[in-house]
Structure 1
Amino acid sequence: MDVKLQDFADKAVKYAEQSGVQYCDARAEQQERKSALIEKNSVEYVRTNDDRGIGIRTIKDNVWNFCSITNPKTFEQIKDAIDNSLKSSKSNNRNKIKLYPNLANKSKVNYLVIKKPELEDIIKIGLEADKTISEIPKIIKSIVNPWFTINSKYFVNTEGSEILQNFTDTVIDMIATAHNSGITQSVNITEGGRGGLEQLTNKNKIQKSAKEIAVKASQLTLAKPVKEENSTVVMNPDFVSLLTHEILGHPSEADRVLGKEMAWAGGAWWKNKLGEKIGSENLNVFDDPTMKESLGWYQFDDEGIETKKTTLVENGVLKNHMQNRETSMDFDSIPTGNMRATNYRFIPLIRMACTCIGNGDRDVNEIIKEVKHGYLISNMKIPSIDMKRYNWSISCQYAQRIENGEITNLLRDVIVMGTAPKFFESIDACGNDFTVRPITNCGKGDPMQSMIMGNGGPTIRGNATVKSVN
């Protein structure tokens, strides 16, 4: 962290306090981002970006205020931004803002990086992945986008917290597109996590994933669509990660439950249902920012709250929501460490960290063998969810028919549909496998903020409607 930027954050909090605010916190952040786009075995472009600035939240006259300054050169710029922000504050006599008490945290956290990523390293990996994809028959296009960010974030507030966190994220996005006899099919995958180059090089993971998506895209050009029916579905962990994100994670964010954040991703159908049964006893859900190497791994959130694992659903019973210091007062709960902003330019919102369905004790092969007629649903694609997260449909990258416990025909362009309570109640098996997937483009808020996180779970079995996209 730049010493001058950190000093500006300290001074900003002191200045705001002298200006009569009830509360103030400041986030000084700097990020170095490097990425490349690779197509047809060549580098289309390379992008580098360095960003730094400060975001400042205050409460004055019982109103939240926020301002941000990009690359401040003098403290006068920061003072002017704070002054202008406070001038726009208008007294709110209806509801007093109450924050859950928090002890001052003073900490420096350096997240594990075994090998620092460099641009030439990720380009080499990207070119190798592009070559692997392109060598598979019927592939007509490969898009590979490796990138990394090196981040430093400093949080300070009027309560005495001073927290510095340094972390690196290393990720690669890959798309394989195949064409045959008038049919075009694409399969994509994102790999990586919080850490250095090892996130892309461990166990030859990227080359394996590149070959898998290319082979599957090629095979899908010969696959058939599915006829619409309500049936047993066995969902693999990659598909489950998006399902968890959309119909379990988002409605668990307390600001949505309260109706305070309806923009972009809606509210929550289970409002006022804490303590009630909302699914089968096989459904267990948690959010855990302490899951190392996931994109949702962090020790302190953007309110300075130290993180821990939070149980959201236990044996089908809704137990908790993700809370910030303000909403926890409404729910007579405690903050869960889920307050996050995309960067210093935005005010923090309640966001998932690493939200997952808990695994069970069932062997995955046995789960499939018990299905007389149904479908194996694999890998996330595109979600479509209503504003209350009640009605949902999510397309998968491919599916396979299950007949008498055997996996048979490959199917393309498949959508899975259901309602949240009916589907949750139908879950009758969770596998003993478990996978966390990187999510890099979750949108929420107005103005919209894009956030990275982890989502995951095991293989699960339930009942839903399957149909063809066309």
Structure 2
Amino acid sequence: MNKRHKSALGIETLDEAGETVKESIDYANTLSGCKYADIRLGLAECKSASSENGTPKGMEEEVKISFGVRLVAGDMPAWGYYGQPLGKADLRRLSKTFRMGINKAHQRALANSRNKAAMKELAPSLSPVRLAPIEVRQDVIPAVYEEDPRGVPLKEVLALAVKITKEMRAVSPCVKFAMISLGTGISRELFQSTEGAKIDQSTALTYAHLYVVAQKGNTIPETFIDHLGEQRGWEITRGKNVYGKSALDFALERTRDTVELTGADFLPSTDEPVVVVTDPNFNALLVHEIIGHPTEADRALKMETSYAGRSWLLRGLTDNELGKRIGSELLTAFSDPGMEGYGYYKYDSEGVPAKRVILIDKGIFKGFMNGRESANIMGMEPNGSMRATECQYMPLVRMTNTVIAAGDRNPEDIIAEVKDGYYVVNNRIPSISESRENFRISAQKVYRIKDGKLVKLYRGGGISADSRDFFMNIAAVGNDFKLFPIPNCGKGQPMQVMKVGNGGPTIRSKARLTGEYK
């Protein structure tokens, strides 16, 4: 049983807020020219601690509260938005605060409507905001966990962090720096709209984020950053996660890998493509950058061109890759918020039921993740892909659990069939072209394959390829599917950092090696 002081803020604080949200939505519906409005009210409670080199670095317990209003109004319907963080005192005057936010959003929508109408002659592509219809839902979704994050003492979180970094440093004298941040918490979000939607959704979160530096003698230091996490409770630190390892064992494995790499040669570059086998962890970043972001409809529609680029899959509504082959028949990819992972949810930030979206089916490009507005523009059904980091931010189209589907091959056989090639393991840093039509992604380690065996370890390298060429050259797909937590997917202005899930199986294709030039 979770015990807390009567004055403490927690997700139960929102129990009494539902009626205030409903009254505020009813008020929004009375405003002149209002076509649609929704309100999101969220509260997240979290405790975290960090340690460096076996000593405490910091710990905290925090509660974040915020709300956001979206409203469509005007003769040429346009969006107006307002959002802000809230403090404890604000909870006593929620009705007044909501009305203030609704009025500001309404004023902004009317101003945007007037400005769009005035610019229509100069910019014919400007159009009224129209939202694709959805099935309106009312639902309550509780958080899922075995060990309630709220019942974990903060001292226990700190003690585990200190223990982990102490043992990381003890792995080898080569370990020069070890850091970990541990956190666990629970969040809740209320959503109501003028269409009658009423969603009350809660999720748990537990994570471990580590950083290790190792150096042998006067050689170039080797560094590695990695993340462990699930939308579950404290049991994640005890091994109930994608790696099947406790937070301690995960950190020690990554530390030993980093130490091993300090003695490795740097990977040589190649001018021509070579056979490469990429592991599930590496493919998590590949699918994130080359399939995930390009299949977000707002990016494809050039709504973020000036900041983040466009999509190689859509040049225009009549010039795109829909229904065309972009990969071998072995390539299937999808985005599924129903899978257990960092991209899990039942309803998105527009109250749309989450659903699996087939992005690529046996090499044929099938469609985009979308929101209600972008779905209407593209003539598609909404698929529940709009999310915001916190309620004070505007929802954006975000990938969910976006993955390459498993094949039927044993990954060991995929490697054994290679006469001369390279095995690329664990992702590090992406360098992506503006429309994601080509990429360069570095790996933690790369092994040379000779006659089906791993014969030499390299560091400081990765692969580079044209996106379509890489997908078309896929010759084998493994049955070892894994879904990894990605904690830091950035998008939007202002920047929103979102948790997503990415992954896939082992894949064999062709790419150029990137590394040391001689």
Scaled to the shorter chain, the TM-score interval is over 0.9
CA distance in 1 between partners of 2:106 and 2:375 (Å): 26
Q: Structure 2: which 5+ runs fail to align?
A: 1-10, 118-125, 315-319
CA distance in 1 between partners of 2:408 and 2:437 (Å): 28
Q: Would the aligned equivalents of 1:291 and 1:297 in 2 still touch at CA under 8 Å?
A: yes
**In structure 1, what residue type is equivalent to 2:164?**
A
Following superposition of structure 1 onto structure 2, how do residues 109-120 of structure 1 map, counting pairs within 5 Å? 109-117=141-149, 118=152, 119-120=154-155
Measure how far apart 1:263 and its partner are.
Answer: 5.2
Following superposition of structure 1 onto structure 2, how do residues 14-163 of structure 1 map, counting pairs within 5 Å? 14-20=26-32, 21-61=34-74, 62-71=77-86, 72=90, 73-74=92-93, 75-88=95-108, 89-90=110-111, 91=113, 92-93=116-117, 94-117=126-149, 118=152, 119-137=154-172, 138-163=174-199
Deviations 1:178-232 (A, max 9, x none): 1112221012321110010111212543233212111111111110012211211
Deviations 1:43-98 (A, max 9, x none): 11113321112101000111111101322342223222222232233223451222
Match of 1:199 in 2: 236
1:214 paired residue among 255, 268, 276 = 255
CA distance in 1 between partners of 2:306 and 2:147 (Å): 39
Measure how far apart 1:430 and its partner are.
Answer: 0.7
Shift in alpha-carbon separation, 1:238–1:204, aligned structure 2, 3 A: closer
Q: Structure 1: which 5+ runs fail to align?
A: none
TM-score by length of 1: 0.96
Match of 1:386 in 2: 433
Determine whether 1:245 maps to 2:288: yes
CA distance in 1 between partners of 2:501 and 2:377 (Å): 27
Q: Would the aligned equivalents of 1:189 and 1:209 in 2 still touch at CA under 8 Å?
A: no
**In structure 2, what residue type is equivalent to 1:12?**
S
Q: Would the aligned equivalents of 1:33 and 1:148 in 2 still touch at CA under 8 Å?
A: yes
Match of 1:279 in 2: 327
Q: Secondary structure at the match of 1:180?
A: coil
Match of 1:288 in 2: 336
Following superposition of structure 1 onto structure 2, how do residues 164-203 of structure 1 map, counting pairs within 5 Å? 164-183=200-219, 184-202=221-239, 203=244
Measure how far apart 1:12 and its partner are.
Answer: 2.4
Deviations 1:80-120 (A, max 9, x none): 22222322332234512221111221100013111012233
**In structure 1, what residue type is equivalent to 2:127?**
N
CA distance in 2 between partners of 1:391 and 1:339 (Å): 26
**In structure 2, what residue type is equivalent to 1:164?**
D
Measure how far apart 1:134 and its partner are.
Answer: 1.4
Measure how far apart 1:332 and its partner are.
Answer: 2.0
**In structure 2, what residue type is equivalent to 1:244?**
V
Measure how far apart 1:5 and its partner are.
Answer: 3.6
Question: What is the number of residues matched between the two proteins?
Answer: 469
Q: Would the aligned equivalents of 2:69 and 2:105 in 1 still touch at CA under 8 Å?
A: no
Measure how far apart 1:266 and its partner are.
Answer: 2.0
Q: Percent identity among equivalent residues?
A: 31
CA distance in 2 between partners of 1:378 and 1:132 (Å): 24
**In structure 1, what residue type is equivalent to 2:485?**
P
Shift in alpha-carbon separation, 1:362–1:163, aligned structure 2, 3 A: same
Q: Secondary structure at the match of 2:344?
A: coil
